[in-house]
Structure 1
Amino acid sequence: MGIGYSPEKSIKTIIPCEPVGQGGKWGHCPRIPSRAGPWKGGCKLLSASIILFFASHHSSRSAFSPGVPGPDGEASYTIRIRLSKADPVTQPFGRCQPLIDQARARGPVVTAVVYPVSREGVLGAVESARLGLIRPLLVGPGEAIRRAAAEAGADLAGCTLIEEADPVACATRAAALVRSGEAEVIMKGSLHTDELMGVVVSREAGLRTHRRISHVFVMDVAAYPKLLLITDAAVNIAPGLTTKRDIVQNAVGVAQVIGVEVPRVALLSAVETVNPDIPSTVEAAALCKMADRGQITGAILDGPLAFDNAISADAAKTKGITSPVSGQADVLVVPNLEAGNMLYKQLVYLSGALAAGVVVGARVPVVLTSRADTPASRIASTAVACLLARARTAQAE
Structure 2
Amino acid sequence: MIKKLDEIVKKVKSVSSMKLAVAAAEDSEVLQAVFDAKKEGIVDPVLIGDIEKITEIANYLGESLDEIKLVQADDLIDSAQKAVKLVSGGEADFVMKGLLDTYILLKEVLNKEYGLRTDSLLSHVMLYEVPTYHKLLLLTDGGMNIAPDVNQKEKIIKNALKAAKALEIEKIKVACIAAKEKVSEKMIATIDAKVLSEKDYGENVVVEGPLAFDLAVSSDAAKIKKFESKVSGDVDVMVVPTIEVGNGIGKSLTYMANAKSAGIIMGAKAPVVLVSRADTHESKLYSIALGALIASNK
Q: CA deviation at 1:145?
A: 1.2
- Structure 1 residue 199: Cα displacement: 2.0
Match of 1:180 in 2: 89
Q: Which runs of 5+ in 1 are unaligned?
A: 1-93, 393-397
Matched residue, 1:131: 40
Query: Highest Rg: 1 or 2?
Result: 1
1:275 has 2:153 as partner:
no
Q: What does the per-residue CA deviation read over 1:261-305, in whole Å, with 9 as the maximum and x for residues that have no partner?
A: 111001001111111111111000000111xxx256641011111
1:1-397 → structure 2 map (5 Å cutoff)? 95-290=4-199, 294=200, 298-392=204-298
**Aligned 8 A contact 2:121 2:152 in 1:** yes
SS at match of 2:209: strand
User: Helix, strand or coil for the counterpart of 2:296?
Assistant: helix
Distance 1:346 1:203 in 2: 37
**Deviation at residue 144 of structure 1 after TM alignment:** 1.5
Aligned length: 296
Are the counterparts in 1 of residues 141 and 243 from structure 2 also a CA contact under 8 Å?
Answer: yes
Q: Which amino acid aligns with 1:275?
A: S
CA contact (8 A) 2:126 2:264 kept: yes
RCO higher in structure (CA 8 A, sep ≥6): 2
How far the C-alpha of 1:238 sits from its partner, in A, is: 1.3
Deviation at 1:362, TM superposition (A): 0.6
Query: Deviations along 1:64-104, whole A, 9 cap, x unmatched?
Result: xxxxxxxxxxxxxxxxxxxxxxxxxxxxxx91111111101
Q: 1:319 to 1:232 in 2, by over 3 A?
A: same
How many angstroms does 1:190 deviate by? 1.8
Q: Which amino acid letter does the alignment assign opposite residue 273 of structure 2? A: V
Structure 1 residues 232-258: Cα deviation after superposition (integer angstroms, max 9, x where no partner): 111212111111101111111111111
Give deviations 1:129-157, integer Å, cap 9, x for gaps.
11111111001011111222233333323
Answer yes or no: is the 8 Å Cα contact 1:122–1:154 preserved in 2. no
**Paired amino acid for 1:247:** I
Q: Let me know the Cα RMSD of the aligned residues.
A: 1.5
> 1:386/1:237 Cα in 2 relative to 1: closer, same or farther (>3 Å)?
same
CA contact (8 A) 1:249 1:296 kept: no
Mean alpha-carbon deviation: is it higher for 335-344 or for 279-288? Answer: 335-344
Distance in 2 between residues matched to 1:297 and 1:164, nearest whole Å: 45
In the aligned structure 1, how far is the partner of 2:187 from the partner of 2:77?
39
Q: What amino acid maps onto 2:171 in structure 1?
A: V
5+ unaligned residues in a row in structure 2: which ranges? none
Cα distance in 2 between the residues matched to 1:156 and 1:98: 28
Q: State the identity %.
A: 37
How far the C-alpha of 1:380 sits from its partner, in A, is: 1.1
| Structure 2 residue identity aligned to 1:289 | E
Q: Given the two structures, how large is their TM-score scaled by the length of structure 1? A: 0.72
Contact 2:139 2:238 in 1 (8 A): yes
Does the Cα contact within 8 Å between 1:365 and 1:385 map onto a contact in 2?
yes
Residue 81 of structure 1 is matched in structure 2 by: none
